[in-house]
Amino acid sequence: MNILMVLTSHDRLGNTGQKTGFWLEEFAAPYYVFKDAGASVTLASPEGGQPPLDPKSEEPDAQTAATRRFHSDDQARQALAHTRVLADMREADFDAVFYPGGHGPLWDLAEDGHSIALLEAFGRAAKPMGLVCHGPAALRHVRTEDGASLLRGRSVTGFSNTEEAAVKLGAVVPFSIEDEFRGLGGIYEKGPDWDSYVVIDGRLVTGQNPASSDAAARALVRLLRDDMP
């Protein structure tokens, strides 16, 4: 199994003067699910190199077994410090792709032409795609071969309006995932705020929030194993 993980390179939280980036739990939990399943994992980001980490995801109450494992894993920290440039990634080289969240993807991956083209290629190849929390923002402009939104008629989830309101960023983010997905014809679903909630629609796996990252990654691995002879 060759899995590509795509992280944000965006570090500014709108005009607030605060920092953002990727959410550590949403990277660490899937990373170890994939590694423990025997997968080869490649990390990429629009700018390459060290992606920005949302400082709030380093706070004590955001730590999990996966984040603690990451902090003691020199190999993983080195891999994260040297992500490859997203424009150099090709769908043909991977069996699946996974997008962690953090608020950063709302600004860069949602609009990045290389990311959009990559996801469209994975869609055409019917390869599994996993995205969690704000990672699903990368699907905003992704289209099918007939030009329709990839989300049209698909069951999906992502960070909810009530969760965005709870972190007081509803007026800061460039768009609401929940509202945008509904507007694109997606069948948006959600569970209770902050609980793990994963939606699987064919080869598309989406997770609602940080608590969903482990389960979303495991769902992606199951899809890959179903493909094996």
Helix axes 213-227, 24-36, angle to 10 degrees: 30
DSSP, res 136: G
What's the average model confidence in pLDDT over 58-81? 97
DSSP, res 92: G
pLDDT of residue 182: 98
Phi, psi angle pair for 130, to nearest 5°: -125, 140
Helix (H) or strand (E) holding 130: strand 129-132
pTM: 0.97
pLDDT of residue 226: 86
pLDDT of residue 210: 97
Domains in the chain (CATH in brackets) are 2-227 (3.40.50.880)
For residues 62 and 78, give the distance between their C-alpha atoms in angstroms, rounded to a whole number: 22
Model confidence at 229, in pLDDT bands (50, 70, 90)? low
Nearest to 132 by CA among 54, 220, 56: 220
Q: pLDDT tens across 128-155, in order?
A: 999 999 999 999 999 999 999 999 999 9
pLDDT of residue 227: 77
**CA distance readout (Å), 133 to 209, 222, 228:** 4, 20, 28
Instruction: Report the helix count and the strand count for the chain, using DSSP H and E.
Output: 7, 9
What's the average model confidence in pLDDT over 194-212? 98
